[in-house]
Chain A
């Protein structure tokens, strides 16, 4: 059996030398990249003072923590938690909505086919990028300085950081829209504004809406942690219970978050299908 394969192999090798040649250069480059990647990781671990003994210790401690989490139990604070969760949802909802409303005009500035000026385009793109480059939690800290501790700071933080993301996404959607309806509207005597309103907006609205819904989901997640720095919502309780090692409450809070995120996922998927189904134009 083995013999026959050997014979076949030799003959095949004769006939197709290209296929059997070892690509030395490609292999070397590949090996070098993998070695460099692994080397960097090892350097990082060394820099962080990683040691297997300490790591196992930590894992053991983590195991104890997880064992202490069962069964999840809110203690006497259930209603406080529910209220905080409501606050979290409000933060996510208003933050997303506000960001979407503010980002629409900004995204027109950043879209090449609406404002043809290259300087405006470049400046507005970089401005949006800078806003996006700063994490929501940092924005929350800054807004706390302005409006004080509480959920309002959280709403403004989500609004600011999503303004950057929406601005970019919306402007890309606008740039990808078809030019012909706009030409049609303007050739019928419509102004540029008419062209945008009746030529571009109907094309992009379902896309924008589905992006907004997607961000609402992801903001629900962000809003659960924004309380860690004092900007409202369930994160404050989560950070406190972890600091006080109340693991049963922590487990309960995490389960609440998981259930809420799953629910929002489900609802927004429904709405998205409904919207896309009705329009039937989203590519």
Chain B
């Protein structure tokens, strides 16, 4: 009961601060529907081919930009995963004894994943200039933070017997990790990285809003300049790509996880 009252009070307060205006909403709602109506092109049955061609008039250009977006997500995920791979062992309590090192690497990971990637992108665009590189770096840093945490949770749950065995033979730190820990975690790491890639593809579509490469630049300029048919064409391409990537990574992850099950 108390909880419900609190939720209500907070809602009222937020509505007041957030300038919620039901009248504006109701007046605007038809515009929301008509917006979707406006952005859809006129397709006539008799001239369907020509209409489609007109709708997707810049398909090659958009696909090239989309490839940029996908590559930004890919390289960002790859670099971020490599950084996370190095940092996650330092952040794991079972393989890193030094509390200071652990604390430092955990705070670093936290910082990397809390600052939104688009904020990093804004700063990197300032430092590196417009283009895809700031986007790659922004995604890489955010990914390092997010994956680093998930990776270290995996590392903290490994079976410690192989590690103890290796330590007993006098193996160095790196050898212990390489032969004791890595074989146990690799498929999990891959699965998490694929999931992150999926998330990063979505994230990379909007990095172009701030000039960090890819399809986002084209999308924001067509929304701002009211090129209605372009907006729907680009949105459709983005949704189709996201579907495709989701589907592919899901299949890959199932393969990986079943592989893991077969080994054990």
Contact = CB atoms under 8 A, between A and B. Distances in A.
B interface, size bucket: 35 or more
Contact of B31 (A44, A146, A154, A258): A146
A49 B11 contact: no
Contact of A90 (B18, B78, B205): B18
Contacts of B238: 133-134
Contact of A134 (B10, B24, B116, B235): B235
A242 B17 contact: no
B11 A62 contact: no
A232 B114 contact: no
A50 B71 CA distance: 13
B40 interface: no
A45 B20 CA distance: 45
A90 B17 contact: yes
A87 interface: yes
Contact of A152 (B13, B19, B72, B74): B19
A142 B210 CA distance: 17
Contacts of B132: 47-48
A91 B18 contact: yes
B25 A147 contact: yes
A146 B127 CA distance: 35
B28 A257 contact: no
B220 interface: yes
Interface stretch (A179-187, A196-204, A223-231): A223-231
B80 interface: no
Given A150-B19, A238-B119, A145 B31 contact: yes
Given A47-B71, A137-B209, A54 B128 contact: yes
A129 interface: yes
Interface string B21-56: 100110011011001000000000000000000000
B147 interface: no
B123 A62 contact: yes
Given A62-B123, A151-B19, A242-B123, A90 B209 contact: no
B133 A62 contact: no
Secondary structure call for the A interface: helix
Contacts of B136: 44, 48
A155 B116 contact: no
B157 interface: no
Contacts of A59: 127
Interface in A128-147: 129-130, 133-135, 137-138, 141-143, 145-147
B181 interface: no
Contacts of B31: 145-146
Interface in B205-260: 205-206, 209-210, 213, 219-220, 223, 235, 238-239, 242-243, 246
B19 A229 contact: no
A275 B74 CA distance: 39
A222 B235 CA distance: 20
A239 interface: yes
B15 interface: yes
Interface of A: 37, 40-41, 43-45, 47-50, 54-55, 58-59, 61-62, 65, 86-87, 89-91, 93-94, 97, 129-130, 133-135, 137-138, 141-143, 145-148, 150-152, 154-156, 221-222, 224-225, 228-229, 232, 238-239, 242, 245, 250, 254, 257-258, 261-262
